[in-house]
Chains A and B, each alone.
Chain A
Amino acid sequence: MASRDFSHRLSDAHGSLRKPVSLARRLHIDVPLLVLLLVLASVGLGVLYSASGGDMNYVRRQSIFMCLAFTGMFIVAQIPLDFYRRWSPWAYLGGCALLVGVLLFGTGAKGAQRWLEVAGFRFQPSEVMKLGVPMMVAAFLHQRAQPPSLMTVAGALAIVAVPAALIVRQPDLGTSILIAASGLFALYLAGLSWKLIGAAAMGVLVSAWPIWQWGLRDYQRQRILTLLNPNDDRFGAGWNIFNSKAAIGSGGIYGKGYLQGTQSQLDFLPESHTDFIIAVLAEEWGMRGALLLLLLYVLVIARGIYISFMAQHLFGRLLAGSITLTFFVYVFVNIGMVTGLLPVVGVPLPVISYGGTSLITLMAGFGILMAVGTERRRVHF
């Protein structure tokens, strides 16, 4: 093990010897990322105050969630990457066991079992897997030669497929797809051959019709139909999309003004403080507000990509890259859904939407990014 990456490490070690290690680096804090996340969090609280109709209770509770999430991020950032790499199989297996547990003993609402209750504490094992899957795939690929052989690809796919299948059974198609995506990103970044990617894309296209016919549940099909024709059923299934589009569109370039959005303030916008919160922002702050938020996200993503480029090991690189790309997918899917480009799937807008669980997972992900970014350049002999 020690002989691995010797030359590379030596040059890094040389660099770190030249420069004194900064305080932030010693605390494993990536300052640009932290600043960006704090700005996003503040924006989120501001929009939430408006979206909840001026209810300070929401803002207060979300502030507490944010404190917890940022604390979690700092703690996660302190743990050496090697630790994650070595323990990821156990975390992954534990996560799978919990997912099985959810199917057996889970609780939930609206016909879906997503929660486990342990000693009065409720949590969603699928959240664990949002990080567990990419970590496991990265650790798996870390030990193998790149580009991955066909066997390696098959192994990685199996790692992705098991939890994805378990989550589909809950049923939670949206989360399942996003978790699968995070694992596939790691595989892709490891150098999955374009031929395989092309073949997979063809496979998806070919299987689209059978999936539509037999693979989807009625409500899922309905959501897609609603997306294609939201005005058909304005007061039923199309209500959310009709009103979120009206909210965003009526905001225009400059918006109606903070706390002045009629769609959101008059309760026409459902889920305005959770999944549809960007509609509130776009209605009240207009296109400028929406684009500024997009810019913030782009900067976070850029920093994430930079960290992945600078990572010392393959494991860190793949993990950071996967987390960053998955983060973008969350942003894209949520905004795409609220603006009527994608079907309605329950994906919150990262950092901005109200809710504790997803925020804590998200920040833990950024904690790992920081761990990758501030990894000590250790010189091994």
Chain B
Amino acid sequence: MPHEHHLKDPHTEQRLFRNRMLVAILGVIALLGVLIARFYNLQVVNYDNYRTQSDENRIQVRPVAPTRGLIYDRNGILLADNRASYNLSIVRERVKDLDATLELIGNLIRLDDSDVVKFRKRLGRRRPFEPIPLRFRLSEEEIARVSVNQFRMPGVSVEAESVRYYALGDLFAHSVGYVGRISDRDLSNFTKEDVRLYRGTRSIGKVGLERSYEKTLLGEVGYENVEINARGRVLRVLERQDPKPGADLTLHLDAHLQQVASDALGDQRGAVVAIDVNTGGVLAFVSKPSFDPNLFVTGISFADYRALSDSLDVPLFNRAVQGQYPPGSTLKPLMSLGGLEAGVISRETKIKDPGFYKLPNDQRIYRDHLRWGHGNKVDLIQALAQSCDVYFWDMAHRWDIDGMHDMATHFGLGAKTGIDLPMERAGLFPSRDWKRGARGMPWFPGDSLNAVLGQGFVLATPLQLAVMTATIANRGTHYRPQMVKSINGVEQPPEVLHNLEARPENWNLVFEGMEAVVNRSHGTGKRAGKGLNFRVAGKSGTAQVVGIAQGERYDSEALAERHRDHALFVAFAPVDKPRIAVAVLVENGEGGGKVAAPVAREVFAEWVPRPDTQEKTAQETRLIEGADNG
């Protein structure tokens, strides 16, 4: 060290230091200038730009979902309601370890695999900081458990949402239908306008009226400008344009009548459709078995869905509009009218029924369902009352398929009824052209014998049979069947599709025959009028089951049961001033008169004694006027 001492020169040192430090000071001043220029650039020159950016961050235009319209029955009983539901949601950006958080949640509340799978799917298409629902419909207890443990799970929150609730559960599953989450498939069908309309809405009508009246129920989306923080939490609303709620629907359906019809059908598979003869309004609409539509509202679990879709009883299948069955002898009143109008038969026509029928030049024997026949002098009334097949075969042979087809078409067979429900099937009433086109074969006389009895190619939905019966009941006025009675209090007028001109005496004869079905000692539908103080007219039917309708899995016991005939019954009441027409189908019920007719009876017993709607309205008006005067 000492050897360097003589080289050290304090003055040089200080000079050098000052020199260097002065340069450094210049550098500092220059860099300070850069910083000041930067602040000036950001805060003065580009102020407006950054102000906008900051506001865009802070202010978000959020869609406000409209309240979905409610659905009432004709008496104001709420069928589809909106309720608050509490969801567990996760903001992905705030969760460090998603798997650990999911496991923690799984320990606190019930969490199915399907919840997690669907959650991960939703995660894939989210906006930053958007809360993604994991579980819906938390119970009070679950909300409490989550809240207590929330500090352990940042990013996890409980949110309220308005969801559909079907108070009467499975009773209206096939008519009112249900809403479900908007799916990828729904989205791919969306127009630009739809995308706008559904901003903020998570559900869409999937089935039933919820689907066919989707746009009516939806309402108009509203908007609000909200101030949010970086986590997307709304701090305050700056401006708001209220959404317009969807329109409320009032149905022709009567919840009580629906319950009666459903109870009468019991555990049997089948359908009941009751129609107001004077408007075409559907009063009861039952398809059994049914299911709980509430399962679908927030997304059904895989297990629940599998149970429903794999069931041999196909509960998701709407038998009333989608089920196509051979209508069997329920077509006989319609065919009678056609035969009478065509002059093929008359009140006086009597035939000999040995228990079978043979076409001329044909070896084939057509057997009546009564092996020994209905006697030697069977007239139309008896043929209807006892469902004599030979009488109608004889008539069909002398008539022609074109006439039958025309008549069936007038009553709505072979075409969609036009009811305001989705996924309706058209059924089938064959014609020469149809057979040539579809089967490539000419029309054989034997085909006519099948058609007149509603067998062979003929298929009809229970709804079509109800419409047919209602059209008979009001003597040829064919109304379009309608579920919705009024929208937001505005009555939907009944719509006449067709007026069938027929001679009154022929109508009288058909009525007489159908009345005989229920009221004569040997009538096949006596059970339909049992103990009622008004008169019922009806017709039973039995449809042969060709194969198993839907099931692919075989169960020997069930198979035997499922090979039995379907039981059918159509009827209207009261005869002198018809108000209600009913069609009943019981799958594999065998005897229409035995199994289906009692169901119709219960519906009549419930409905007919009630005061007529029109009279009731008049009464109410009088009461109100009285109150005003008093």
Mark A residues whose CB is within 8 Å of B.
Answer: 4-5, 8, 143-147, 185, 188-192, 235, 242-243, 245-253, 262-263, 265-268, 282, 286-287, 290-291, 294, 298, 301, 305, 308-309, 314, 317-318, 321, 325, 328, 332, 335-336, 339, 341
A294 and B51 in contact (CB under 8 A), knowing A235-B128, A325-B24? no
Shortest A251–chain B CB gap in Å is 6
Question: What is the bound-complex CA distance between A95 and B154, given in angstroms?
Answer: 39
A249 and B24 in contact (CB under 8 A), knowing A4-B8, A144-B4, A189-B17? no
B interface: dominant SS: helix
Decide if B20 is an interface residue (CB 8 Å cutoff): yes
A266 and B58 in contact (CB under 8 A), knowing A249-B53, A250-B47? yes
A146 and B21 in contact (CB under 8 A), knowing A246-B53, A282-B43, A341-B34? no
A-B contact pairs, 17 of them (CB 8 A): A4-B5, A146-B9, A189-B21, A191-B16, A191-B19, A192-B20, A246-B53, A246-B57, A248-B42, A250-B51, A250-B53, A252-B44, A266-B57, A266-B235, A301-B28, A328-B31, A341-B38
Q: Are A145 and B50 in contact (CB under 8 A)?
A: no
Question: What is the bound-complex CA distance between A235 and B8, given in angstroms?
Answer: 59
Shortest B507–chain A CB gap in Å is 75
Q: Are A305 and B32 in contact (CB under 8 A)?
A: no
Q: Are A249 and B42 in contact (CB under 8 A)?
A: yes
CB neighbours (8 Å) of A147 from chain B are: 12, 16
Q: Are A294 and B32 in contact (CB under 8 A)?
A: yes
Q: Are B50 and A268 in contact (CB under 8 A)?
A: no
Question: What is the bound-complex CA distance between A143 and B8, given in angstroms?
Answer: 8
Shortest A97–chain B CB gap in Å is 25
Decide if B25 is an interface residue (CB 8 Å cutoff): yes
A268 and B57 in contact (CB under 8 A), knowing A145-B7, A146-B8? yes
Q: Are B21 and A321 in contact (CB under 8 A)?
A: yes
Shortest A285–chain B CB gap in Å is 11
CB neighbours (8 Å) of A144 from chain B are: 4, 8
Decide if B10 is an interface residue (CB 8 Å cutoff): yes
Q: Are A309 and B50 in contact (CB under 8 A)?
A: no
Among residues of B, the one whose C-beta sits closest to the C-beta of A311 is B17
A143 and B54 in contact (CB under 8 A), knowing A245-B42, A339-B39? no
CB neighbours (8 Å) of A335 from chain B are: 35, 38
Q: Are A145 and B4 in contact (CB under 8 A)?
A: yes
Shortest B338–chain A CB gap in Å is 72
A143 and B1 in contact (CB under 8 A), knowing A190-B16, A247-B54, A266-B227? yes
Question: What is the bound-complex CA distance between A34 and B419, given in angstroms?
Answer: 89
Among residues of B, the one whose C-beta sits closest to the C-beta of A144 is B4
Shortest B49–chain A CB gap in Å is 7
Decide if B13 is an interface residue (CB 8 Å cutoff): yes
Question: What is the bound-complex CA distance between A247 and B40, given in angstroms?
Answer: 14
Contact among A235, A266, A287, A318 with B43 in the assembled complex (CB-CB below 8 Å): A287
Question: What is the bound-complex CA distance between A263 and B54, given in angstroms?
Answer: 7
CB neighbours (8 Å) of A8 from chain B are: 10
Question: What is the bound-complex CA distance between A29 and B4, given in angstroms?
Answer: 34
Interface centre among B13, B18, B228, B230 (most CB of A within 10 A): B13
Q: Are A243 and B28 in contact (CB under 8 A)?
A: no
Q: Are B20 and A191 in contact (CB under 8 A)?
A: yes
Shortest B26–chain A CB gap in Å is 12
Question: What is the bound-complex CA distance between A330 and B14, given in angstroms?
Answer: 26
CB neighbours (8 Å) of A282 from chain B are: 39, 42-43
CB neighbours (8 Å) of A262 from chain B are: 54-55, 57-58, 227
Among residues of A, the one whose C-beta sits closest to the C-beta of B38 is A339
Shortest B96–chain A CB gap in Å is 12
- State the 7 A-B residue pairs at the shortest beta-carbon distance, nearest first: A249-B50, A191-B16, A145-B7, A250-B54, A266-B229, A267-B230, A246-B53
A248 and B34 in contact (CB under 8 A), knowing A190-B17, A263-B54, A305-B21? no
